[in-house]
Amino acid sequence: MTQTKFIGIVLFDGVEELDAVGPYEVLAYWTRNHPEDGYQVITLSPTGELVTCAKGLRITPDQSFATAPALDVVLHPGGQGTRPLLRRPEHLDWVRDQAATAGLMTSVCTGSLVYAAAGLLKNRPATTHWASLDELTALDASIKVADQARFVDDVDVITSAGVSAGIDMALHLVSRLSFPDRAVSVRRGIQYDPEPPV
Amino acid sequence: MTQTKFIGIVLFDGVEELDAVGPYEVLAYWTRNHPEDGYQVITLSPTGELVTCAKGLRITPDQSFATAPALDVVLHPGGQGTRPLLRRPEHLDWVRDQAATAGLMTSVCTGSLVYAAAGLLKNRPATTHWASLDELTALDASIKVADQARFVDDVDVITSAGVSAGIDMALHLVSRLSFPDRAVSVRRGIQYDPEPPV
């Protein structure tokens, strides 16, 4: 039997709620309905203790960085809580360690700022929340900023636009890690036929 | 000064993650950036203790039913966890009490099954997740099931289609409780320009 592959969604104080939970819904809907595909989704944080998200929601992660299994895919959400992380060397070290061992690093919204600060995006195409595109360039001028993309798949690094873009990126991830029909069935399961009323 | 009006998002074991957190993001983005509009969003559950959502995410509510302030708007998400609630008289009593005191009852996905079981949808147009439309009719044959609607606004009761439809319904709610331009700015803030890749 094949060993389970783990997708880890990083949580931290000030993480934007939908950045994390949009992709969680998509990925967990897939992995729980199709365990035969071999993936499992977990949430993890530096300490494993309850995090208070950007808008006040309180989530308890499944694991700490220390207790989590080796990850095959990392998903780093954004939110105001990314700004302190940019100046926290141990967090950037953890990101670099993951980039060296996980096959695929993904981000939502300003999660890409953390990847930029860790040096992961050097000379790569990447994106972020529309209001933080300049901040991305300021962190690393070699980044080829894709200001119109919903998400940018650069093989071993995928970055997304703001907040809700993580849902689209996660569907792409399901498609890429399994096959497109799986993503179609997840999309149908979460009835993702968006009709913004404004 | 006007008194704060409260929007309460109901949490319970087995609540579908995005049913709750999609609207939470939209509504909290609005209320936190525009406190001058007079609304505040809280999460609440029967006991106030940590709930384990349908796909495993663990959220700690802000309040219990007993400690929560009087609500002006109730949002009842869906998920597999709604099925035990249909047979829990004290939960249905709570829903009926809220309907008698809150100005507006809203639901996402199979949250409308709970409203149907509580008798709130008698002779009304309403909707739910596409896979549960028959279940809605079975609970109350007088419901005028709207099987193609993203959400149904029946003045003091609003029901939504499955999971991700809660995001669209919540934007409608912002528009209705404040004004359309507020909803436009929230939509821009969460970069909600969906591009499903499959």
Whether residues A163 and B59 touch (CB distance < 8 A) is answered with no
The predicted model gives A174-182 an average pLDDT of 98
Q: Using DSSP, state whether B182 is helix, strand or coil.
A: helix
* Strand spans (E) along chain B: 5-10, 39-45, 51-52, 58-60, 63-64, 73-76, 104-107, 125-126, 144-145, 151-153, 157-160
Determine which of B15, B25, B158, B159 to mutate to test the interface with A (most A C-beta atoms within 10 Å): B25
Mean pLDDT score across all residues of chain B: 97
A163 to chain B: which residues are within 8 Å by CB? 25, 189-192
Is the model's pLDDT at A1 over the cut of 70? Answer: no
Whole-Å CA distances, B134 to A53, A89, A186, B144 = 37, 55, 21, 12
The predicted model gives A97-123 an average pLDDT of 98
In a domain, B198, yes or no: no
In a domain, B197, yes or no: no
Q: Are A113 and A133 in contact (CB under 8 A)?
A: no
Is the model's pLDDT at B1 over the cut of 60? Answer: no
In a domain, A166, yes or no: yes
Which residue bears the tokens 């299994």? A69
Cα–Cα dist B82/B76, whole Å: 10
Whether residues B180 and A172 touch (CB distance < 8 A) is answered with no
Q: What's the domain range around A24?
A: 5-189
Q: Are B159 and B107 in contact (CB under 8 A)?
A: yes
Beta bridge mates, A105: A74, A157
For residue B2, what pLDDT is reported? 72
First to last CA, chain A: 49
Is the model's pLDDT at A51 over the cut of 60? Answer: yes
Whether residues B189 and A163 touch (CB distance < 8 A) is answered with yes
**DSSP of A44-110:** EESS-S-EE-TTS-EEE-SEETTTSPPPSEEEE--STTHHHHHT-HHHHHHHHHHHHHSSEEEE-TT
For residue B129, what pLDDT is reported? 98
For residue A2, what pLDDT is reported? 72
Cα–Cα dist B159/B104, whole Å: 11
Q: Please name the residue of chain A whose CA is at the shortest distance from the CA of residue B173.
A: A197
B158 to chain A: which residues are within 8 Å by CB? none
Q: Using DSSP, state whether A6 is helix, strand or coil.
A: strand
B50 to chain A: which residues are within 8 Å by CB? 60
In a domain, A197, yes or no: no
CA distance B8 to chain A (A): 13
Is the model's pLDDT at B42 over the cut of 60? Answer: yes
Is the model's pLDDT at B143 over the cut of 80? Answer: yes
ipTM of the complex: 0.97
CA distance A122 to chain B (A): 25
CATH of residue B155's domain is 3.40.50.880
Cα–Cα dist A111/A136, whole Å: 10
Is the model's pLDDT at B178 over the cut of 70? Answer: yes
Whether residues B191 and A162 touch (CB distance < 8 A) is answered with yes
Whether residues A28 and B55 touch (CB distance < 8 A) is answered with yes
Q: Please name the residue of chain B whose CA is at the shortest distance from the CA of residue A196.
A: B168
In a domain, A198, yes or no: no
Q: Are A77 and A71 in contact (CB under 8 A)?
A: no
Is the model's pLDDT at B86 over the cut of 70? Answer: yes
Tally the domains of chain A.
1
For residue B190, what pLDDT is reported? 98
Q: Kindly calculate the radius of gyration of chain B based on its CA atoms and give it in whole angstroms.
A: 16
Whether residues B25 and A163 touch (CB distance < 8 A) is answered with yes
Beta bridge mates, B5: B39
The residues of B carrying an active-site annotation are 109
In a domain, B52, yes or no: yes
CA distance A78 to chain B (A): 11
Q: Are A133 and A147 in contact (CB under 8 A)?
A: yes
First to last CA, chain B: 49
Residue-wise pLDDT for A130-161, tens only, equals 999 999 999 999 999 999 999 999 999 999 99
Which residues, other chains included, contact B32 with Cβ-Cβ below 8 Å and sequence gap of 6+? A55, A56
Which residues, other chains included, contact B168 with Cβ-Cβ below 8 Å and sequence gap of 6+? A194, A195, A196, A197, B150, B151, B160
A43 to chain B: which residues are within 8 Å by CB? 57
Which residues, other chains included, contact B78 with Cβ-Cβ below 8 Å and sequence gap of 6+? B15, B16, B19, B107, B108, B109, B110, B111, B112, B113, B128, B129, B132, B162, B163
In a domain, B39, yes or no: yes
A150 to chain B: which residues are within 8 Å by CB? 193, 195, 197
Tokens representing B55 are: 């796909």
A-B contacts (CB, under 8 Å): 151
Q: What b/e readout covers A12-29, taking b as 16+ CB neighbours within 10 angstroms?
A: bbbbbbbbbbbbbbbbbb
The residues of A carrying an active-site annotation are 109
Is the model's pLDDT at B116 over the cut of 90? Answer: yes
In a domain, B194, yes or no: no
